[in-house]
Structure 1
């Protein structure tokens, strides 16, 4: 009897197991509904404009989108763990009125399948540009400093300082500076004039006057003769700003140090010494390089981790025991007058790379006495960790009219210097001493116009160059702005836009990011 019961138990268990196996084997498995988001790319939008995005969405199983829900959001790039997340919308297509502070934002679209809970997410960047961000243009209009703005949306606004203040910023304008330090929220526009007053400082969005040029200094320089402004800075949308900046006034260097300032500093008295600086500087975080056009030599201002160490100019560092006779040129005794210098191509890490200078023998005016010098811009030269390296010095023979040039701009993409004389723009191959005419304004704006200014936007390293022309001797608005697309061979491949008769003779340009 026990054997019979045991046998029945085994049989029933086997039948039960077989039934379970058959039941499990009867399920049909389906792939999950995969969601894909395409066609969204990083883009720029003007503040107070509407951001519109229509995504391309595909699903592996569903043809209808009724099963989907949407979430658009963003946060300020570089804000870290404490970033504030703002919701932009819940609809399939985004229509969002942008009132956010200008800067770079990390944006997301999250699409969730309501039936399964599975989701897809697309990441992209949105750059919010200020309504009046863009190219600031300072021109001499019948002797007066006239300010214009070509904004991000390609709208040209004329006479913006005069409209805000009822008067011109000064007379005999020489340059313009966008002084933007996001780290301390310092932002102002400096209009520099050679009129004995030096110009003015304005609010950056309304362009209402804040102060006079002389108010930028602890001790007013004598004479007041601004020549150039330059700064060690990075783009504001990274959350950083100016480390220190400089004004060259009457050949003398004035600096201010932001790194450890608890308040907005003013410019210090001139750096001591018997020198007269060219109105150019080669700068990155820890290389502060200047050229003395009185003693014909390169100098540095020493610093350490963003803090200036000395208030005098020092000779550039060379390896100990260097025989300067073996160098391409002696940077401590060049013996030439600087005409123009800027950072050039082959940009490397930390903004190091090549720099070029155009020089001439003191007192000479002809092309046979002009030279091209190439040298390094190491990251830590002012800290004594990098040396000044002269690469070459060659006489210039292939650059027609360079000795008479009135405007210069240096490409950071290719080894070309662009320069202008009268109605022509030239490109000059710095490595091979070859120049050519690439643009004749007579064919664009008619005879009588001359090229007054050339400009590259330094932060985006694009292939666009801005050129300004005007009719010499005119007291009217004969100034035109040409937006030119460049090829890798130094030619102009596209005339993007020409804004005709919108200003006077241009003497300065700078790009305002916010």
Structure 2
């Protein structure tokens, strides 16, 4: 006997099952016929190949960028392709992105008129069909010919008019000469060049100081253009608490084992006074002469224009006060200054150095009647200074180490019997090897103090006379490591090696146009006695080169 209720329920289920099956079949068929709005092909990828850094001379050269743009689907994308939009932008002084070029062009070509300095930029390529955008960041460095490079202090002609020339480092591969860059018709001519000074400062309160010193006047130079901007930039008027009558001829930085700043700057005058700018106490100017036993007292003796300082720079942050070595030309003795002295007043005075105990004594700091011929500063042994002494018709070499403000006697070489050593007036020393260099007429000699080996290392043309020899050690308080922090490995290595290349300035005596100066760079290798002319690094057209100083740029 059947149950009518159950039969009715089963019929309903079967009916719904047929309907669901029919709907599933229709859905399956519709999926087969669906052409879809989807692509399962390869994604469109746009790549941009272009320089990440560009250096251009301000208002003289063009920013010229020709990127290579490639689509993985369409290949090379050329200018004028209507499917793509091109945009160059830079960050302005307010931190906003602004358009570099209003033209929708793949390439950028415009005069370098953005303002001197580094400009953060970006370049974007947009596929207008899909909205896909690719962006590449890059920097434009707007520079002047005086932004970075070797500053050359020169004497021009028989009157020895002071002239500032330069070998400009525009970029890694672009180096050009520049001539007479500091001349200002509103400033009286200077005569008899003496030296250049460079103070690199990492603290914001005091900017870098670049000084040009001659026997007649001394001036601060514009940090960007290396020009003399007016009488207000006369060195004594701008850097001294009370402007002395002296003529400043030397300006030496005393390093501190603190990578944020130096300990002090020592300035020396032609008249024989030494002035101290005490940076440890955030001093703002040079004070009264320090060649005295009492701050502000009357000078008690005269000092030689040479200042012995370490060229070692610290990256550790360990602190000591730094030291400087001077020579009392009246009493024939070595004088010291150091930042370890506990009172600021004492740091505005110098003091005679005392001889060490007999076991450590190599010579006497009281030299009797000796004259100081020259000093050669190095980073060797963390700060060895070599003093060349004239003792009657003999010449000696004394090595005094300034690290830790100890004034430690490290070496003594007496009665040097080397070719032309007794007549030389130009000296410098290596910071990696214990090697001294000296020049006379058209020759440069090397002398390794450790081995005793000596050599006639460079012989120039007979009509040339060497006018300066120097190693341009970087002044940055944190050393070369900080200067190269943003360079690639190859560039950083080359930049570091330049500290140990001997810079030789000479003059062609047959020149008739006052432009017979020649600048050459020589590479060294262990043990320092051999000098090899660096290929391609010979530049002409300068006046008589008296001093060389490298102008650094903070990273």
Q: How far is the alpha carbon of 1:452 from its aligned partner?
A: 0.9
Q: Please state if 1:253 is matched with 2:269.
A: no
Q: How far is the alpha carbon of 1:109 from its aligned partner?
A: 3.1
Q: Please state if 1:340 is matched with 2:389.
A: no
Q: How far is the alpha carbon of 1:85 from its aligned partner?
A: 4.7
Q: How far is the alpha carbon of 1:255 from its aligned partner?
A: 1.2
Unmatched tracts of structure 2, length 5 or more: 1-10, 169-174, 294-299, 475-494
Q: How far is the alpha carbon of 1:104 from its aligned partner?
A: 3.6
1:194 maps to 215
- Specify the SS of the correspondent of 2:105: coil
Structure 1, residues 187-237: CA drift from partner, whole Å, max 9, x if none? 776432335xx4455666453541545424223446x2423113479xxxx
- Specify the SS of the correspondent of 1:5: helix
Which is strand-richer, 1 or 2? 1
1:384 maps to none
Whole-Å Cα distance in 2 between the matches of residues 62 and 309 of structure 1? 76
- Specify the SS of the correspondent of 2:21: helix
User: Is the CA contact 2:50–2:65 (under 8 Å) kept in the aligned structure 1?
Assistant: no
Task: Provide the aligned length of Structure 1 versus Structure 2.
Answer: 465
Cα 1:63/1:202, change in 2 over 3 Å:
closer
Match of 1:227 among 242, 249, 252: 249
Moved more, 106-115 or 180-189: 180-189
| Structure number with bigger Rg | 2
User: Is the CA contact 2:471–2:502 (under 8 Å) kept in the aligned structure 1?
Assistant: yes
Superposed, 1:394-433 pairs within 5 Å as 395=413, 401-402=420-421, 404-409=423-428, 418-427=437-446
Q: How far is the alpha carbon of 1:11 from its aligned partner?
A: 2.4
User: Is the CA contact 1:339–1:357 (under 8 Å) kept in the aligned structure 2?
Assistant: no
- Specify the SS of the correspondent of 2:42: coil
1:288 maps to 322
1:359 maps to 387
TM-score for both structures, normalised by structure 2: 0.66
Q: How far is the alpha carbon of 1:308 from its aligned partner?
A: 10
Cα 1:25/1:281, change in 2 over 3 Å:
farther
Whole-Å Cα distance in 2 between the matches of residues 20 and 241 of structure 1? 78
Whole-Å Cα distance in 2 between the matches of residues 86 and 241 of structure 1? 37
Q: Please state if 1:370 is matched with 2:390.
A: no
Cα 1:243/1:344, change in 2 over 3 Å:
closer
Cα 1:14/1:48, change in 2 over 3 Å:
same
Structure 1, residues 3-61: CA drift from partner, whole Å, max 9, x if none? 21242254246546756876899865223232333351534322212222222333322
Q: How far is the alpha carbon of 1:62 from its aligned partner?
A: 1.7
Match of 2:519 among 477, 482, 488: 482
Whole-Å Cα distance in 2 between the matches of residues 110 and 189 of structure 1? 41
Q: Please state if 1:52 is matched with 2:64.
A: yes
Whole-Å Cα distance in 2 between the matches of residues 474 and 74 of structure 1? 49
TM-score for both structures, normalised by structure 1: 0.70
Q: How far is the alpha carbon of 1:451 from its aligned partner?
A: 0.6
Structure 1, residues 320-346: CA drift from partner, whole Å, max 9, x if none? xxx97787x79996979683333437x
Q: How far is the alpha carbon of 1:291 from its aligned partner?
A: 0.9
2:75 maps to 63
Q: Please state if 1:147 is matched with 2:184.
A: no
Q: Please state if 1:439 is matched with 2:480.
A: no
User: Is the CA contact 1:243–1:257 (under 8 Å) kept in the aligned structure 2?
Assistant: yes
